[in-house]
Amino acid sequence: MLAETLAAIRAADPVAIAEARAFQDRLTKPRGSLGVLEDVAVRLAGAAGACPPPLPAPAALAIFAADHGVHAAGVTPWPQEVTVQMVANFLAGGAVANAFAAQAGVPVTVVDVGVAADLPDAPALVKRKVGYGTADLSRGPAMTVDQAVRAMEAGITVARDLVAGGARCLITGDMGIANTTASAALISVFTGADPAEVTGRGTGIDDETYERKVGIVREALRVNGLDGGTLGSSASEALRALAAVGGFEHAALAGFILGGAAARVPVLLDGVIAGASALVAAALDPSALDHCVAGHRSAEPGHAAALARLGLRPLVDLELRLGEGTGALLAHPVLCAAVRVMHEVATFDSAGVTEKPV
């Protein structure tokens, strides 16, 4: 399924990009006056291979939830049970992601890819558990490569099912206590940045815990033979790195991104967990990034490093550091507005507005 998905991904269409750029200049506004909105609408035209691109609506949010063996190393003050408790909260509609999703008119799906507890059935819950939490990445590989691939395939399946159900924009979400540690490790491996530069305070940790967390990320890279910026460019090396220091939700999110790209449906990325997962997806096929939009920039330092490597410009920057899909949900109306311009705004010709002489 992974190979088939990778084979289906197409790079952006340069003809649609050129057409969209020229079309933006004919709309009744000074050239370039919509700044980043023009760029993102042009990118979506390239991704869709159509000018104007389809409106990225309706959207669907998928929150991938999983636990992390590295929790035992003391990298977060929160008990691991908060993951399963928050899953129940999402399903009951009580989390910040639910409030923002309601504001944006976006349905929420929760996917259990590796929560360390059994969950009761619920209409909005997709059960694709690969394990009861990963192993501690600072002592050896967090997952086997087979587990990582199974989690990726869960993400691909969720993307396909949401698109089959009518979604025209996929929004990434995550829940997993300790997942900013795995994110920092992935970002360090895939960007070559030192762990100290890309490790952040996650949910909010004191100086002592922060120092320990940086040390744990460094140890994870050493134990798994991934230190020194030595990652090669092959797909098998990328999968091995994902399995070594990632989480089930990172693997599933990487699959979700590839699944959206293969379906030519834009993927709106949330924060640092999504950024780390997008680095994995890009290592498997850089063209997948043509279908991604960075919803926001998280306060986690690793996110800025990931976005710089991905070459993605975030739509909003509100110093959020929550995850769940919250930043991407806030960006969704902005993305829709950018595309709506190309559908509804008159041209200088059609509206009889005089253009500035060139």
Ligand X SMILES: O=C(O)c1cccnc1
Active site positions, annotated: 324
- Nearest-approach distance from CB 178 to ligand RBZ, in angstroms: 5
Dist. CA 183–CA 180, nearest whole Å: 5
Stretch that binds ligand RBZ, among 39-47, 146-154, 171-179, 284-292 (CB under 6 A): 171-179
CB of 322 to ligand X, least distance (A): 6
The sheet carrying 108-114 orders its strands as: 125-127, 108-114, 59-66, 169-175, 267-269, 292-294
Choice from 24, 98, 147, 180 touching ligand RBZ (CB under 6 A): 180
302 binds ligand RBZ (CB under 6 A): no
Which of 112, 249, 285, 300 touches ligand X (CB under 6 A)? 300
For 192, the 3-state DSSP assignment is coil
DSSP codes joined into one string, 199-225:
---TT---HHHHHHHHHHHHHHHHHTT
Integer Cα distance of 124 and 114 in angstroms = 16
Among the listed residues 242, 273, 293, 331, the single contact to ligand X using CB under 6 A: 273
| Residue 87: count of CB within 10 angstroms of its CB | 23
| Contact partner at residue 298 from ligand RBZ, ligand X, none, CB < 5 to 8 Å by partner kind | ligand X
Binding part of the chain for ligand RBZ, among 10-18, 46-54, 178-186, 346-354 by CB under 6 A, reads 178-186
Give the integer Cα–Cα distance in Å for 187 and 192: 8
Among 82, 196, 197, 203, binds ligand X (CB under 6 A): 203
Length of the chain: 358
Give me the 301-340 binding string for ligand X, x by CB under 6 A, dash otherwise.
--x-----------------xxx-----------------
Q: How far apart are CA 151 and CA 69, in angstroms?
A: 16
How far apart are the C-alpha atoms of 153 and 147, rounded to whole Å?
10
Tell me the number of residues near ligand RBZ by CB under 6 A: 17
* Ranges assigned E (strand) in the chain: 59-66, 108-114, 125-127, 169-175, 267-269, 292-294
Q: Does 98 bind ligand RBZ (CB under 6 A)?
A: no
Smallest gap from residue 7 Cβ to ligand RBZ (A): 32
Query: Which residue number, 218 or 296, has a Cβ lying nearer to ligand X?
Result: 296
Question: Nearest distance from residue 316's CB to ligand X, in Å?
Answer: 13
Residue of this chain nearest to ligand RBZ (CB atom): 202
From 154, 272, 284, 328, residue interacting with ligand X (rule: CB under 6 A): 272
177 touches ligand X (CB under 6 A): no
Looking at 28, 57, 197, 203, which residue binds ligand RBZ (CB under 6 A)?
Answer: 203
In the list 1, 11, 82, 125, the residue contacting ligand RBZ (rule: CB under 6 A) is: 82
Q: Which helix (H) or strand (E) holds 323?
A: none
DSSP H or E segment with residue 107: none
Q: Which of 284, 272, 187 is nearest to 234 (CA)?
A: 284
Smallest distance, ligand X to C-beta of residue 203, A: 5
300 binds, among ligand RBZ, ligand X, none (CB under 5 to 8 A by kind): ligand X
User: How is residue 195 written in tokens?
Assistant: 């762990």
CB nearer to ligand X: pick between 255 and 302: 302
Question: From the list ligand RBZ, ligand X, none, which binds 303 (C-beta under 5 to 8 Å, kind-based)?
Answer: ligand X
Among 5, 76, 147, 191, the residue binding ligand RBZ under the rule CB under 6 A is 76
CA distances from 200 to 180, 209, 258, 289 (A): 8, 11, 27, 24
Q: Is 71 an interacting residue with respect to ligand X (CB under 6 A)?
A: no
Q: Provide the angle, in degrees to the nearest 10, between the axes of the packed helices 35-48 and 14-26.
A: 140
Q: Residue holding tokens 């991104």?
A: 257
Q: What does the binding site for ligand RBZ look like in residue numbers (CB under 6 A)? A: 76, 78, 82, 86, 174-181, 202-203, 322-324
